Structure 1
Amino acid sequence: MPRANPLAARFERAFDTDIRSRFFRGLAFDGPDGDPGWFGPGSAVWYVHSHLPTVILGLVAAAYIEGLDPSISWMAHDHSRLVERADGVPTGAIDEEGAKVRLGHSLSFFLGTAYGSTATAERLARTVRAMHHTIKGTRPDGLPYDADDPEWLRWNYATVVWGLATAHERYHRRPLRGAGLDRYYGEFTRVGEALGGTDLPATKAEVAACLESYLPRLAVSPIKAFSTGPNLRGNGVPPWRPGSEFMDWAARDMLPEWARKLAMYRPPNPVTLRARRSALWLAVNGLHEATGPLPEYRQAEARVAGGTTEPVASTAPAAPDAVLSRAEVEAVPNALV
């Protein structure tokens, strides 16, 4: 039985303690009966997001390419808990606890919008939009940034769906390909629309073209350079955790060719490259096979076992959001900060 695997049992205990108990509170996966949520059984999103290790890997890759936009780097520097602060002043280091919190909230969002009830998915989206409304400022070079900017929302959306789909395509044991993978890209636009995105790319080719179209505004800023490549050597982060040298390599190895050049990524020799990719493939699939589907996935399956109601017609915001302060947003359960 899968649950007899000691590594799987350890992973599940850690996930329950560090993630589920802290960031899944208040999320409904087991009801109401028949509610398909945003996607429902048989969807490509249900299939892709059911493989938790590749979802985590995809989010790491998405965060990497997203940060090639200097404005994103400054948004994180000025507003995110990812950055360590002393008396409110950024030190230039990564806040380890803040990184764990960000990963936990990201997982609750992408699993909650995939498998949660319609009301759960909508609440998560409202919380993220509320936080975006608070993220505005000016870079040191005088350029303003605004997390509600449609161009930023499109870039952010494209990086996330690219990361999740690319990790799935490369490291899932039985990945969707071709039309099946394009179905995932098309379905996932519902998440981007719910966060306020418009004119979103809906296929693998469209997402690739969208990402490359942003190249003139991208750069490896000092903030980005600090947290990648040789600067991570000897940082003591275990290889399987985000922020480690190995996970940094895995993210850069998935980048499009133009992004590899921007990040000055040079792959190792073919033998080493094959060995690293094979080791990662075996690790993520071994862990997934040992743990099996998450309880939230099984709860969602049970919720729709007797049939489903019609899904909501649109996830785009129907009315302007209430304006909340950052403190008010952080007081909301599962606030993604």
Structure 2
Amino acid sequence: MAKRKRGEVRPHDDYGFFGPGSVVWKVWGYPTAPTVGFQRAVVVEELDPPLVAAVDATQGIYQRSRTRYDRTLRYFAMVAFAGTRDVCKAADVLVKVHSKAIGELPYGGGRYDANAPDSQLWIQLTGWHSILYAYEKYGPGKLTAQEETEYWEACALAAELQTCSPDDLPRSRDGIREYFARMRPRLSASPIARQAMNHLLKTELVFPPLPRWAKPIAVAVARTQRAATLATLPRWMREMAGIRQSRLVDALIVPVMKVSFALAHLNPTVELRLLGMLSPSSVAVVAPIKLGIRPRTEEVLTPEEARTRHGFAKPAEAHLEFRARQSARVFADGEAPSDQGLVESQEILGPLA
């Protein structure tokens, strides 16, 4: 099976921004990443009022639960594992996709913009922190001090693919704690946030169509993952969102998940099949790494080197005219924003339906 799959896998152009032996490949390549880690990230994100306003306005997580999960996970997998040209393309088109997510905040006044640096910083840090937290809790355990330093430096490097500034990213666990402490007074479990968080905890919504005999198994798996994800959330966050889970369940779920993930990690083919259940379009991104397929060029680039070589602008400076037109349509003309970026993204991030 592994040999057949190797023959079907298209190699990446290069090793991307991290490469073999990196702590990013170690952490993001463990099965906790696309499961508990990613689910935790998207659930926590909803507590940020501007972000959840954008999520609620587009309704993508409700109307296209599976494809939205698939496309978002594919993007994060690309940043970690794909070749630099493909990642630069994805980061570039994502600016156009996010240009559609603008409007008036439903609570408290003001506006939201998914491309705003503050929103992008929140997404970046909740994502990278959640992936690491799940790895430590349900995977091999804590990183060494050197590995952790490398991890947060890598997080800052990856931020160059967002509209936020890498200078604003903490480079240590203490810095991450300070960031979340600063953010806590700004977070809100509004009605739309609670609705989104509870919806995103339903793993069964991202499963593919299953035969009748498999549905009870899928429900059990989904409930187990929900319990595992909730066990990673701090008590104050659960109380804010009105989500309950006992301390006993928090404790019992840990050995179950540690053993399950360790067994899955023994076989790359099994890992890829599990990934395909949650995010079929991410398999092509991760398979070359799991199956040891070397890229066409064995090199690692920085984002700046990649942009220069492949001809892309920094995300913060990309598509400014298009973003201005989108803003004028929404705030001046009272019209819906264009879907142009969303349509263009399908070739890179996967289909919308």
Normalised TM-score (structure 1): 0.74
Q: 1:45 aligns with which of 14, 24, 36?
A: 24
* AA matched with 2:95: R
Separation (CA, whole Å) in 1 of partners of 2:161 and 2:240: 31
Say whether the 8 Å CA contact 2:32–2:135 is kept in structure 1. Answer: no
Say whether the 8 Å CA contact 1:190–1:315 is kept in structure 2. Answer: no
Shift of 1:187: 0.5
C-alpha change, 1:310 and 1:82, in structure 2 (3 Å) is: closer
Separation (CA, whole Å) in 2 of partners of 1:54 and 1:330: 25
**Partner of 1:268 in structure 2?**
246
**Partner of 2:281 in structure 1?**
none
Matched, 1:146 2:124: no
**Partner of 2:35 in structure 1?**
56
Say whether the 8 Å CA contact 2:74–2:349 is kept in structure 1. Answer: no
Shift of 1:67: 0.6
Matches for 1:66-85 after TM superposition, within 5 Å: 66-83=45-62
**Partner of 2:148 in structure 1?**
181
Matched, 1:195 2:154: no
- Cα deviation, 1:135-192, whole Å, max 9, x if unaligned, reads 1101233331111222222212111111111111111135524331232122022222
Say whether the 8 Å CA contact 1:155–1:211 is kept in structure 2. Answer: no
**Partner of 2:326 in structure 1?**
none
Two-structure CA RMSD over aligned residues (Å): 3.4
**Partner of 1:302 in structure 2?**
294
C-alpha change, 1:225 and 1:310, in structure 2 (3 Å) is: closer
**Partner of 1:129 in structure 2?**
95
Separation (CA, whole Å) in 1 of partners of 2:100 and 2:144: 38
Shift of 1:263: 3.1
* AA matched with 2:230: R
C-alpha change, 1:29 and 1:166, in structure 2 (3 Å) is: farther
Say whether the 8 Å CA contact 1:73–1:221 is kept in structure 2. Answer: no
Q: 1:318 aligns with which of 303, 314, 335?
A: 314
Q: 2:76 aligns with which of 96, 101, 110?
A: 110
C-alpha change, 1:158 and 1:230, in structure 2 (3 Å) is: closer
C-alpha change, 1:171 and 1:29, in structure 2 (3 Å) is: farther
- Cα deviation, 1:6-57, whole Å, max 9, x if unaligned, reads xxxxxx9xxxxxxxx9xxxxxx96143xx33111222111111211343321
Say whether the 8 Å CA contact 1:171–1:281 is kept in structure 2. Answer: yes
Question: Secondary structure in 2 aligned to 1:137?
Answer: strand
Q: 2:254 aligns with which of 277, 284, 292?
A: 277
Question: Secondary structure in 2 aligned to 1:302?
Answer: coil
Say whether the 8 Å CA contact 2:44–2:126 is kept in structure 1. Answer: yes
- Structure holding more helix per residue: 2
* AA matched with 1:125: A
**Partner of 2:219 in structure 1?**
238
Separation (CA, whole Å) in 2 of partners of 1:285 and 1:48: 13
Separation (CA, whole Å) in 1 of partners of 2:232 and 2:95: 28
C-alpha change, 1:161 and 1:315, in structure 2 (3 Å) is: farther
Aligned-pair identity (%): 19
Separation (CA, whole Å) in 1 of partners of 2:180 and 2:306: 23
Say whether the 8 Å CA contact 1:30–1:302 is kept in structure 2. Answer: yes
Separation (CA, whole Å) in 2 of partners of 1:70 and 1:312: 30
- Cα deviation, 1:248-275, whole Å, max 9, x if unaligned, reads 43333212454244335555244x4322
C-alpha change, 1:128 and 1:29, in structure 2 (3 Å) is: farther
Give ranges in structure 2 of 5+ residues lacking alignment: 206-215, 273-285, 308-312, 324-336
| Matched residue count | 294
Question: Secondary structure in 2 aligned to 1:214?
Answer: helix
- Cα deviation, 1:82-138, whole Å, max 9, x if unaligned, reads 12xxxxxxxxxxx3xx11112211222122122211101111111222212221101
Say whether the 8 Å CA contact 1:182–1:203 is kept in structure 2. Answer: yes
Matched, 1:334 2:348: yes
